[in-house]
Amino acid sequence: MQIESRRFSAGSDPANIASVTAETTETMGSGESRGRYMLIFRGGAVSRDDVSPSALQAHVEKWYTWSEELARQGRRNVGTALDNAGKSVGGHERIVTDGPYAESKDLITGSVIIEAASLEDAVEVARQCPTYEFGGSVEVRPVQGEGG
């Protein structure tokens, strides 16, 4: 199985983490029925302002390693990190407010879509995510219209 990995540097500003993408060039094989699941990342190192640049860079390397391992497993993962800034639009009046959330632990910091045999399999993938090192969490959701 050939693997294409793209690595991006966090650059001079460690809070500016680019997308982590790794895709395999062939599917899971063996005729396995696979579904797609979105892993939604909340909080973690990039949502905090108390993480040193060197600690953040080391943490980002763990994300790259995790993403590359998913690709090696044929999970065809594609995702992106999100910047902490943003706006929120809500209600019938479509009121615009600054920032998506008041608490950084609730801030959605990124997502990835993976292939997994079941929801339980996708949860096991999520349990290996580096985000927990800095108090992050992962929500696992089936992609609508997919098996699993």
- Segment 101-123 shows an average pLDDT of 86
- pLDDT per residue as tens digits for the range 30-63: 445 689 999 999 988 888 889 899 999 999 999 9
Is the residue at 47 inside a domain? yes
Q: Residue 83: which CATH number?
A: 3.30.70.1060
- Segment 11-29 shows an average pLDDT of 38
d(CA 77, CA 80): 10
| Domain span at 109 | 33-142
Is the residue at 147 inside a domain? no
pTM: 0.72
CA–CA distance from 142 to each of 16, 35, 87 (Å)?
28, 8, 26
What pLDDT does 102 receive? 60
Is the residue at 110 inside a domain? yes
Provide the mean pLDDT of the chain: 77
Is the residue at 24 inside a domain? no
- 88 confidence band (pLDDT: 50, 70, 90): confident
Quote the number of domains for the chain: 1
Is the residue at 75 inside a domain? yes
CA–CA distance from 79 to each of 19, 40, 55, 76 (Å)?
6, 10, 22, 10
